[in-house]
C-alpha cells in the first residue's frame, strides 16, 4: 500500500480530544490538510483558536457527528479524504459507572467498525486508516520482569469486566473496550479485505502540554492521572513506598508524530505499534518539579530513598523506533510541561483533591488489584 504524502486530506475523529488535537497539530505542521470530526461547534472552539490561520486557509475543516456508535456516523466525513486517524472512543472520565460495562465496550467497538465500514462504502479515496488503540490492549498480568510487545493481547481485561459486572471500575472498562475494539478491527479487515490498509497505535499513558490549551485536557484527560498523584504526594497522602511506584508514559507530541509516521510509512501497513518513552516513578516526577519549578506549585526537597523504584513489567517500544523512526522527547520535559500547562490553564492542587474519589474505588482484593495495576493506574492508592 502506498504511503500518504502532504497535502493529502486526513480525517481525524475525536479531533477535539487531547490525543486528537495532538494528531491535528502534527498533521498541520507537516502540511497535511485536516478534517476534524467532532460533535459540536463548542468542541471546535479551542481548535479554531489554536489553528486559526489553518482554518482561514481551509487547511483545517470540520465535520460533525452525534454519536460514534450510530450507524453511518462517519459516512459524510470520509468522503474525499485520503486517510483516516480514528481517535474517538470512550475515555475513563466519560464512563458512567452506573451503566452496564458492555455499554462502553460496545460503543468503542461500534465506533471502530463504523469508521471502517464508512470508509469502505463512502471513502473511495481512503488508502490507510490509523486507529488509536492503547497499551491497555496489550498489558495484562504477566509475571514480573515481563517485556510486553505487539504480539500480546490483554484479553484478561474483558474477562475481569465480565466477572465484576457493574462493579468493574471505569479504567478497567476502558481497557476492555480498547482490546475488544481493536480485535474487532483486525477481524473486520480480514473478513472484508478493503482497498485501504490498517495500522494501530498503542500508547501508554499520554502526558504533556495540551496542544490547544484546553482546560478539560488536564481535568478529564490522561494528564489528570499525573496531576493527581503529584497532588497527593505534595499533600503527604502518598507513603514512601508508593512514591516508588512507576508508570509508563509518552508525550502527546510524540503520539501526534507517531500517527503521522503511521500514515506516511509504507512499512507500517498491517501492523501494531506500542508507544512508550519509558517508565517513571512519582519520586522522580517530584525531583523534576523541584529542580525545574513551575510557578504556582511549590515542591519541597524530595527525601532520598534507599529502596529502588518498583519496575515490574514494561512495554517495548523498539518496533516503533525501528519502523516508524520515533524519537521520544525527554521524560523530564514532558513532566514539566504537563504541570506548567495545567497551571497556566487554571489547574490547582485542590482540583486533583476533588478528583481523588475517582480512584478510591480501585482498592480491591490483592489479586484483582495486581491485575488492575497492569491495566490501569490502580497504583494511585488513597
Residue 361 has pLDDT above 90, yes or no: no
Res 217: pLDDT = 83
Residue 363 has pLDDT above 50, yes or no: no
pLDDT band, very low/low/confident/very high, at 95 (cuts 50, 70, 90): confident
Instruction: Assign 168 to helix, strand or coil.
Output: coil
Share of the chain above pLDDT 70, in %: 85
Contact 275, 317 (CB under 8 A): yes
Kindly report the pTM of this predicted structure.
0.89
The sign of the CA dihedral 67, 71, 76, 78 is: positive
pLDDT band, very low/low/confident/very high, at 370 (cuts 50, 70, 90): very low
Q: pLDDT tens-digit profile of 146-201?
A: 899 999 999 999 999 999 999 999 889 999 999 999 999 999 999 999 999 999 99
Res 325: pLDDT = 97
Residue 125 has pLDDT above 80, yes or no: yes
Q: Which residue has the higher pLDDT, 314 or 80?
A: 80
Q: pLDDT tens-digit profile of 236-256?
A: 777 777 778 888 999 999 999
- What is the average pLDDT value for the chain, to the nearest integer? 86
* Range 101-104 contact pairs with CB under 8 angstroms and sequence separation of 24 or more: 101/161, 101/164, 101/165, 101/166, 101/168, 101/172, 101/173, 101/176, 104/170, 104/173, 104/174, 104/176, 104/177
Q: Which of 5, 6, 38 is nearest to 21 (CA)?
A: 38
Q: Tell me the three cell numbers of residue 330.
A: 525527554
Amino acid at each position: 500500500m502506498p504511503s500518504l504524502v502532504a497535502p493529502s486530506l486526513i480525517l481525524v475523529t475525536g479531533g477535539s480530544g487531547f490525543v486528537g488535537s495532538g494528531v491535528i497539530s502534527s498533521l498541520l505542521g507537516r502540511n497535511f490538510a485536516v478534517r476534524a470530526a467532532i460533535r459540536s461547534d463548542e468542541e471546535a472552539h479551542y481548535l479554531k483558536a489554536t489553528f486559526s490561520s489553518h482554518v482561514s486557509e481551509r487547511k483545517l475543516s470540520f465535520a460533525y457527528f452525534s454519536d460514534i456508535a450510530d450507524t453511518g456516523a462517519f459516512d459524510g466525513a470520509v468522503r474525499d479524504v485520503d486517510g483516516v486517524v480514528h481517535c474517538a472512543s470512550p475515555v475513563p472520565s466519560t464512563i458512567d459507572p452506573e451503566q452496564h460495562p458492555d455499554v462502553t465496550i460496545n460503543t468503542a467497538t461500534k465506533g471502530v467498525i463504523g469508521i471502517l465500514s464508512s470508509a469502505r462504502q463512502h471513502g473511495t479515496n481512503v488508502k490507510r486508516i490509523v486507529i488509536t488503540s492503547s497499551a491497555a490492549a496489550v498489558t495484562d498480568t504477566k509475571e514480573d520482569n515481563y517485556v510486553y510487545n505487539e504480539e500480546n493481547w490483554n484479553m484478561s481485561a474483558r474477562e475481569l469486566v465480565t466477572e465484576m459486572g457493574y462493579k468493574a471500575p471505569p479504567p478497567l472498562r476502558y481497557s476492555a473496550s480498547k482490546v475488544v475494539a481493536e480485535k474487532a478491527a483486525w477481524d473486520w479487515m480480514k473478513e472484508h479485505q478493503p482497498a485501504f490498509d490498517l495500522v494501530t497505535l498503542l500508547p501508554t499513558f499520554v502526558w504533556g502540554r495540551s496542544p490547544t490549551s484546553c482546560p478539560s485536557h488536564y481535568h478529564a484527560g490522561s494528564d489528570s492521572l499525573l496531576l493527581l498523584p503529584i497532588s497527593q504526594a505534595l499533600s503527604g497522602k502518598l507513603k514512601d513506598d508508593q512514591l516508588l511506584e512507576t508508570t509508563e508514559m509518552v508525550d502527546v507530541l510524540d503520539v501526534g508524530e507517531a500517527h503521522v509516521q503511521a500514515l506516511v510509512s509504507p512499512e507500517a501497513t498491517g501492523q501494531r505499534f506500542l508507544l512508550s518513552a519509558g517508565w517513571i516513578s512519582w519520586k522522580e516526577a517530584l525531583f523534576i518539579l523541584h529542580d525545574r519549578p513551575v510557578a504556582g506549585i511549590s515542591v519541597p526537597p524530595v527525601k532520598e530513598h534507599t529502596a529502588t523504584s518498583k519496575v515490574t513489567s514494561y512495554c517495548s517500544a523498539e518496533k516503533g523506533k525501528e519502523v516508524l523512526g520515533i524519537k521520544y522527547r525527554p521524560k523530564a520535559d514532558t513532566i514539566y510541561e504537563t504541570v506548567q500547562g495545567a497551571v497556566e490553564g487554571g489547574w490547582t492542587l485542590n482540583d486533583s483533591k476533588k478528583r481523588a474519589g475517582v480512584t478510591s474505588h480501585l482498592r480491591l482484593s490483592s489479586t484483582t488489584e495486581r491485575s488492575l495495576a497492569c491495566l490501569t493506574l490502580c497504583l494511585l492508592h488513597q
